[in-house]
């Protein structure tokens, strides 16, 4: 079981809607990189506070082990493992 699989199970247990996917050739090796996509969709013109609370909780769970990016006006969160040559704090 990989780190991403364990994170998938934890996020599902915490009540998030999680999907597994892959990015094509992210590090130019010809291999696809596994990613998780979390649905944080909302109704209305602007995201409510609950969306930002979910995003904060997801970032706290992932901490420094994964790259967490909000996509599409906060309607989804995109998680992948850090690549070895990437610098992060």
pLDDT in single tens digits along all 89 residues of the chain: 889 999 999 999 999 999 999 887 666 677 788 899 999 989 999 999 999 999 999 999 998 789 898 888 888 998 988 766 655 54
**3-state SS of 65-81?**
CEEEEEECCCCEEEEEE
pTM of the model: 0.80
């Amino acid at each position: 079981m990989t780190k991403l699989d364990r994170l998938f199970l934890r996020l599902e247990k915490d009540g998030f809607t999680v999907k597994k996917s892959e990015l094509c050739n992210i590090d130019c090796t010809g291999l696809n990189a596994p990613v998780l996509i979390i649905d944080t969709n909302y109704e209305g013109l602007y995201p409510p506070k609950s969306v930002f609370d979910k995003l904060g909780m997801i970032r706290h769970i992932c901490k420094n082990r994964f790259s967490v990016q909000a996509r599409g006006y906060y309607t989804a969160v995109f998680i992948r493992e850090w690549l070895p040559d990437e610098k992060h704090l």
